[in-house]
Amino acid sequence: MHELRGRLSLLDPTAGDALKVIEYFDRLVASQVSIETLVRGAATLAHVNAGYNSPTRLVRFLAGGLQGPETDSTGPWTLANAGYRALRVGPGCR
């Protein structure tokens, strides 16, 4: 994929950047990293708050990669306040 990214970047730099993101997450998944590492990576790359909610876990990271609140709270984590600058993944995300 590295060679493909290089050739594609010559034609369309934006598409090359998109492949960098895919490569990054492919490496994380292949390394079987924790959900915390995946969510932190998403927050850092996208420059937005990112969170994972499931019935048993709540993982949140701020846009800069710092860990967010571990309890359900008001503020930027609610649907009404998150707006388009937040990324939510997993079942039951708010």
- The model scores a pTM over 0.85: no
Q: Which residue has the higher pLDDT, 17 or 84?
A: 17
The total of other beta-carbon atoms located within 10 Å of residue 76's CB is 18
Put residue 24 in one of left, alpha, beta given phi > 0 → left and psi -120 to 50 → alpha: alpha
How high is the pLDDT of residue 27? 92
Strand, helix or coil at 28? helix
Which residues are paired to 58 by β-bridges?
A: 53
- Over range 66-87, report the average pLDDT: 56
How high is the pLDDT of residue 68? 80
- Tell me: the pLDDT tens digits for 12-69? 878 777 888 888 999 999 999 998 999 899 888 888 888 887 778 788 888 888 888 7
Write out the two tokens for 62.
Answer: 């701020």
Q: Report the alpha-carbon distance of residue 85 to residue 34 in Å, rounded.
A: 23
- List beta partners, residue 52: 59, 89
Neighbours of 57 (CB within 10 A): 11
> Residue 88 — very low, low, confident or very high, per pLDDT cuts 50/70/90?
low
